[in-house]
Amino acid sequence: MLRRHLAGLALLGAPALIRPARAQAAERLVLELKDGPVTIQLLPDVAPRHVERIKTLVGRGFYDGTPFHRVIEGFMAQGGDPTGTGTGGARDLPDLPAEFTNKYRFLRGVCGMARSQNPNSASSQFFIMFAPAPSLDGQYTIWGRVVAGMEAVDKIKRGDPTRNGVVQNPDKLLRARITSA
């Protein structure tokens, strides 16, 4: 009903309120997990270098078969390290400079780039938020947000809380691919 009303306003000469935003019309990342696909809206207007890195690594098949090595209940699921130790990355590519923003917050479903203590050290590891974490706002790069399939993210095997969320026999990202919206 609301959509029909807004479409009617557009026909009457009002601004096109339902036209998709540039980021919404762009490519999306689809992660195939054991419990189903997860669709992530990429945010190139927020973090262009990080989105490009994700797309480059997906194109190489880098993420296929990688584990979610650190998963903390009520916080986030981290993956993107082919070694599964939390110390691996895309060694043949340089680290990325931070692209912090205050435009988006770390809320449920937001995707951020993992890094070391150095803000300019992101490589390939990423995380998906289970819940809001305001302490991360402006401290980590946001590059996407889950728009479908969060229920599959919720089913990722959790790690040991006494070992900082490290997962024994972790679930894996089966396949990653880029699609058009």
With beta carbons less than 8 A apart as the criterion, state whether 143 and 103 touch.
Answer: no
- Measuring CA to CA, how many Å separate 34 from each of 31, 38, 59? 10, 10, 21
User: What CATH number has the domain bearing residue 66?
Assistant: 2.40.100.10
Domain range enclosing 128 = 22-180
**Residue at 69 is within a domain:** yes
For 81-120, how does the pLDDT look when each residue is reduced to its tens digit (9 = 90+)? 999 999 999 999 999 999 999 889 999 999 999 999 999 9
pTM over 0.75: yes
**Residue at 41 is within a domain:** yes
For 131-149, how does the pLDDT look when each residue is reduced to its tens digit (9 = 90+)? 999 999 999 999 999 999 9
**Residue at 12 is within a domain:** no
- Measuring CA to CA, how many Å separate 106 from each of 5, 42, 90, 165, 166? 32, 15, 24, 19, 21
The structural domain count of the chain equals 1
